[in-house]
Amino acid sequence: MKKLILLISSLAFLMMVYTYGNARNLMYRTISEESIQIWTTNEMFEFANTMALTFEQNNPKFKIEVTTVNENDVTYMIENSDDIGIISNNILTNDNIWKMAIAREILVPVMNADNPYSNQILSEGISPKEYESISNGIITNWGELMNDQSVSNIKLFIHNTSANEIFLSKFLSSESDLHPLDIENFDAFLTKIKNDKYAIGFCRLADIIDYENHNLIEGLKLVPIDRNENNKIDFAENIYSNLNDLERAVWIGKYPRELYNNILTISKYQPVSTSDLAFLNWIITEGEQNINTNGLSKLCTSELQANIQKLTDHPVVISEPNEVNNAKAIILLIVISIVVILVPVMFFSKRNTNHMDSSNKEKKQKILTESSVVSPKGIF
C-alpha cells in the first residue's frame, strides 16, 4: 500500500511540474508579444497611426494595430468593441463610456502684431457678432469696428481646412455662406497676416506656436474674444496673455466651445490590461511631445496630471490569456484529483491498519483466556 501511495504522489508531482512549466512558458510568450488594438476614424487616422508607430519604436515589445471605421459606425464600435478608440469629440454620441482627452484642435483669431489698433483690441476684444458682421460684409473697415474715422479695410482670412470651416460656422452662428478669404496653404495664410497690418484671421493654435520658446511665432498676436459683448475684456475673458493661460482656459471652459474639439481616447469600459494602460500612460507623458507635430495642441499641465491620476486611481485587474487560464485550470484539476485519490487510499489504509490492530488484539485476548489454555482434564 505504501508503494502505491508513493507511486501516485510521484506521478502527480511530475504532472504538476510539467504543467507549471508550460504555463510559465505561455505567460512569458504572451507578455513578450503584447498586442494593442486601436480603432479610429479616417479623419484621425494619421494622428493615431503616428502615435502608434512612435510608441512601438520606444516600446519594441508592444505591437499596435490601427484600423479605421466609418463615422457612422462609431456608435457600433463603442457599444460592441472592447478596444481603445481615438476620435474627435464632435462625433461622440454616447457619454456613458470611459473617455480621456489626449489633445485638442483649437481655432484661434490672430492679428498682425503691428496693427495700429492693437492696444484697443487687446482691451476691448472683438465679439462673435462683430466677426459675423465682418464675415458677411456688414462691417468693412476698422473705423466701423473701432468707432473712429478710419477707412482702412478689414481683411478676414481663414486657413481653410474642413475642420476650421466647421469651427468658424458654429462660432458665427451662421449657416449662410461665409465670406472670409480662404487660404488652403498655411504658409500663404501666415504671409498674408504678416504682410498686412490690418489683416486678421483664424487658424489652428498649434500651427502658430514657436515650440522652442513656447510662445507665438514672431509677428502675430492673439485677438481676445469679447464673449459677453460688453466692449471690454473682463477678468474671466483675460486669457490671452500667454499660452499657458489660454490652454488652461480651454480646459476649464473659458474659451468659446465652438472653436475647439477634444481628441479623445475612449472605451466601452475602463481599460485595465497592462498593454492598454502602457499605451495610454505613454500618450499623456512621453508621447505628449509628438502631439503638436500633428497640428493638435497639447493639454495643459494640470489636465495631464488629472489624467495620470485618472488612470492610476482605478484598480487594475489584469486580464490573462485563455491559454494561461487553461494551464491554471489543469493544475487545479490535478490537485483536486490527487486529493480525490489520496483521501480514499489513506482512509482504507487506516481502516485496514485498524482492522489488523483489532485482529491482533483479539488474538492476544484469546491467548490469555481460560478457554484458550489447553490442559489435561484431570483424573476425575
Specify the pairing of strand 181-183 against strand 209-210. unpaired
pLDDT digits (tens, 9 = 90+) for 121-145: 999 999 999 999 998 889 999 999 9
Answer yes or no: are the C-beta atoms of 114 and 197 closer than 8 Å: yes
User: Beta strands of the chain (E only): which ranges?
Assistant: 34-41, 62-69, 84-88, 98-112, 155-159, 181-183, 199-204, 209-210, 215-216, 220-222, 260-267
- Assign 30 to helix, strand or coil: helix
At residue 117, φ and ψ (nearest 5 deg) are: -100, 15
* 147 Cβ contact partners less than 8 Å away, ≥ 6 residues apart: none
pLDDT digits (tens, 9 = 90+) for 194-222: 999 999 999 999 999 998 888 999 999 99
CA-nearest of 154, 144, 198 to 179 is: 154
* Best CATH choice for the domain 105-260 from the list 3.90.25.10, 3.20.20.70, 3.40.50.300, 3.40.190.10: 3.40.190.10
H or E element, residue 15 = helix 2-32
Whether pTM > 0.75 for this model: the answer is: no
Give the whole-angstrom CA distance, residue 27 versus residue 20.
11
Q: Is the pLDDT of residue 162 over 70?
A: yes
CA 55, distance to chain mean position in Å, is 13
Residue range 143-153: mean pLDDT, rounded: 93
To the question of domain 33-104+261-313 being in CATH 3.40.50.300, the answer is: no
pLDDT digits (tens, 9 = 90+) for 302-334: 999 999 998 987 544 434 444 445 555 566 666
**pLDDT confidence of residue 280:** 97
pLDDT digits (tens, 9 = 90+) for 21-70: 554 444 443 444 479 999 999 999 999 999 999 999 999 999 999 999 99
Give the whole-angstrom CA distance, residue 328 versus residue 322.
10
Give the whole-angstrom CA distance, residue 197 versus residue 194.
7
Hey, what's the cell of 238?
483675460
- Scanning 37-116, the segments in alpha helix (DSSP H) are 45-58, 74-80
Give the whole-angstrom CA distance, residue 370 versus residue 373.
6
